């Protein structure tokens, strides 16, 4: 069973290699390849939940350990949760992109880059060593830089360049931390590092943790390291924005921080406080900034910063309920934020603008988009019975239980701001009278509308069936995180 982990990287890589020549032979088959890859990986992920024993760790070392750098792949509860989130988003986005990307030339190049980004994300999730983690992180990042610039307009190129510069600085800091870790332990293997990191090297551990916090904080777009995110999310094609916000920044940023700080270096009191501070700062500052936005996608971009803050606050508490709430919100945000970004793309494609003060009344012409956007809005606002309600509630209760009342207050205030800006968006875009210039507007094409309906149903089902989601998907991830540096004794 362990060799199946390699397919998460090999299948999208192989599809990326054959995409361009396949498109020259048969364009319809080429358009279908990416959704088929995403569907295959989603089915495989669900099947693994059925056949992998609860909390059982699958460990695979290609070549039976002949690689001198100790490259290996590991699947535990935490990585399994991220595989599920990425697979769900990839399926919805690839179905949506088939029609949406027709307005761009070189659609097969988009698919190639997107598949490379998927392979990189899956590689980061499964990496059991710092060397392969860094390599896969760069594969995903470089592919994303190109995808942000895919429109090749001035705004797209400027946003991609800014993202490239900040991303490169982050990668240098991370590489410095990786080098210091290897120098102290003599290994890249995460389990070996957890077991052998010198107990007396306290200051070195704190310095490495600081490098990783800043580096991966940039990748996660935590405040104040968020400078690249608003322009990148706004300029990129809607499917790319959905993937960026939904899963990429979580995989390259939040997931790796959780893995390293809990399972490898250990979560210290100072690190916990720093994460809580950055999370609260992101919730409040991001919430204030989003209130002033008039661009549909830019509003959602700043909203991403706020929601990432909730995730970081939850996991920073170090309590089982806090970790559970943070990871559940990570999963929920991976569903409702792509839904909102895809709807923004549908509105722009049909109405020709995404400026909220130029929109209005679109519910009359785009009822499916309006309804699914309402579901996404209710989910991100944290209103019952949708999924975002439960994860935010768990985080707030966990803050109170931990005695961090100021953090709980900030989370409540952030929720109020979210309700304010998300219903303003819904009202301006879809409510009110329909302007005459939109008389010829039509509902989004069925693949685009179908993808948003799929995500909207997931928001509702994850909310109504949250005990099942928590039991089968979230709790195994909580156990993996709460195990701390015991990760090093699991295989």
Q: Which of 358, 377, 405, 354 is nearest to 303 (CA)?
A: 377
User: pLDDT 10s digit of each residue in the chain, 491 long?
Assistant: 577 889 999 999 999 999 988 888 878 887 889 999 999 999 999 998 887 766 678 887 765 544 445 578 889 999 999 999 999 999 999 999 989 988 887 788 899 999 999 999 999 999 989 999 999 999 999 999 999 988 767 778 888 899 999 999 999 999 999 999 999 998 888 888 988 888 888 889 999 999 999 999 999 989 888 878 888 888 889 999 999 998 999 999 999 999 999 988 888 888 999 999 999 999 999 989 998 888 999 999 999 999 999 999 999 998 999 999 999 999 999 999 999 999 999 999 998 888 898 898 899 999 999 999 999 999 999 898 999 999 999 999 999 999 999 999 999 999 999 999 988 999 999 988 888 888 888 988 999 999 999 999 999 999 999 999 999 999 999 998 988 766 656 55
- Tokens found for residue 360: 């209005």
Q: Which of 311, 307, 345 is nearest to 326 (CA)?
A: 311
Q: Which of 397, 368, 384, 394 is nearest to 462 (CA)?
A: 384
Residue 35 contacts residue 98 (beta carbons within 8 Å): yes
Decide: pTM greater than 0.85: yes
Angle at 210 between CA 175 and CA 403, to 5 degrees: 145
Residue 151 CA to residue 105 CA, distance in Å, equals 9
Q: Which of 379, 395, 381 is nearest to 462 (CA)?
A: 379
Q: Which of 137, 160, 163, 158 is nearest to 148 (CA)?
A: 160
Q: What is the phi/psi pair of residue 164, to 5°?
A: -60, -45
**pLDDT above 90 as % of the chain:** 64
Residue 436 CA to residue 462 CA, distance in Å, equals 39
Instruction: List the alpha helices (DSSP H) in 352-445.
Output: 367-381, 387-401, 405-430
């Amino acid at each position: 069973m362990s060799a199946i982990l390699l397919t998460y990287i090999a299948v999208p890589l192989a599809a990326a290699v054959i995409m361009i020549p396949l498109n020259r032979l048969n364009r319809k088959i080429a358009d279908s390849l990416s959704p088929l890859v995403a569907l295959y990986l989603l089915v495989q992920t669900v099947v693994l939940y059925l056949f992998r024993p609860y909390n059982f760790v699958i460990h695979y070392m290609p070549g039976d350990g002949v690689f001198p750098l100790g490259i290996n792949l590991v699947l535990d509860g935490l990585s399994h949760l991220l595989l599920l989130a990425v697979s769900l988003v990839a399926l919805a986005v690839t179905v949506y992109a088939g029609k949406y990307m027709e307005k761009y030339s070189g659609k097969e190049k988009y698919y190639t880059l997107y598949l490379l980004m998927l392979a990189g994300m899956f590689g980061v999730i499964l990496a059991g060593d710092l060397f392969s983690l860094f390599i896969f992180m760069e594969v995903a990042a470089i592919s994303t830089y190109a995808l942000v610039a895919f429109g090749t307009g001035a705004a797209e190129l400027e946003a991609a360049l800014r993202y490239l510069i900040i991303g490169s600085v982050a990668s240098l800091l991370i590489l410095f931390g990786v080098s210091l870790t290897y120098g102290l332990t003599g290994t890249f293997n995460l389990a070996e590092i957890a077991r052998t990191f010198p107990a007396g090297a306290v200051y070195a551990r704190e310095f490495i943790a600081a490098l990783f916090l800043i580096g991966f904080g940039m990748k996660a777009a935590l405040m104040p390291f968020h400078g690249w995110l608003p322009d990148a999310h706004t300029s990129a094609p809607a499917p790319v924005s959905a993937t960026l916000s939904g899963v990429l920044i979580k995989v390259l940023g939040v997931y790796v921080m959780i893995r390293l700080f809990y399972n490898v270096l250990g979560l210290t009191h100072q690190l916990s406080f720093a994460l809580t501070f950055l999370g609260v700062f992101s919730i409040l500052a991001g919430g204030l900034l989003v209130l002033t936005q008039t661009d549909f996608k830019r509003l959602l971009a700043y909203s991403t910063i706020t929601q990432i803050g909730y995730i970081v606050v939850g996991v920073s508490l170090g309590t089982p309920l806090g970790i559970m709430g943070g990871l559940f919100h990570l999963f929920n945000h991976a569903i409702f934020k792509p839904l909102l970004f895809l709807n923004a793309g549908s509105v722009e494609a049909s109405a020709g603008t995404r400026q909220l003060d130029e929109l209005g009344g679109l519910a009359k012409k785009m009822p499916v988009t309006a309804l699914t956007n309402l579901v996404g809005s209710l989910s991100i606002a944290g209103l019952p019975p949708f999924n975002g309600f439960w994860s935010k509630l768990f985080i707030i209760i966990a803050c109170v239980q931990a005695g961090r009342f100021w953090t709980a207050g900030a989370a409540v205030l952030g929720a109020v701001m979210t309700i304010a800006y998300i219903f303003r968006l819904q009202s301006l875009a879809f409510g009110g009278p329909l302007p005459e210039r939109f008389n010829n507007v039509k509902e989004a094409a069925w693949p685009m509308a179908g993808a948003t309906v799929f995500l909207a149903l997931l928001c509702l089902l994850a909310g109504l069936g949250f005990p099942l989601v928590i039991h089968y998907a979230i709790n195994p991830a909580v156990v993996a995180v709460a195990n701390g540096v015991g990760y090093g004794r699991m295989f």
